[in-house]
Amino acid sequence: MNIAIGSDHAGFTRKQEILTYLQAQGHKVKDLGTYSKDSMDYPDIAVEVAKLVASREVERGILICGSGIGVSIVANKTEGVRAANCLNEEMASLSRQHNDANVLTLGERLVDTKTALSMVDVFLTTPFEGGRHEQRVNKIHDLTGR
């Protein structure tokens, strides 16, 4: 799968762990930074990942910051992006099944490595259920013209 990944300084360590994990599984991963723990503004990275997802240049995106909240807010401002900030595997699964989420966001301060990697697996392998959920996702897009 083609995946874009990015983080701010507060999510850098978890991003590196996820990046290594995804590459070992054979995924094609585009790392949009940040590339160190030096302070930076999360919107700069989050918007770039979101644009790649929205343009369908990649199939999914993963964003990490301290809480996952900031990058989720930024990503969801991009037309065609449905970013879900998740804390556990069940949330990651439901974000795919019911919301057809295409960007997973998480917080390094809130999610340990083992849980993060498990959530990534679930997020990448869980299909969208469609049906009544498709109608609801379409309503979301109608609200914003997206």
Residue 18 φ then ψ, to 5°: -65, -40
For 52, the token pair is 């790649």
**Is 9 noted as a catalytic residue in this protein?**
no
> What gap in Å lies between CA 32 and CA 121, rounded to an integer?
20
| 12 touches 37 (CB < 8 A) | yes
Catalytic residue (choose from 9, 27, 98, 133): 98
From 9, 65, 86, 141, active-site residue: 65
Helix ranges, the chain (H): 12-24, 42-54, 69-75, 89-97, 113-125, 132-144
Indicate the residue type of 23.
Q
138 exposure class (CB count in 10 Å sphere: 0-12, 13-18, 19+): exposed
Q: Among this protein's residues, is 98 annotated catalytic?
A: yes
Catalytic residues: 65, 98
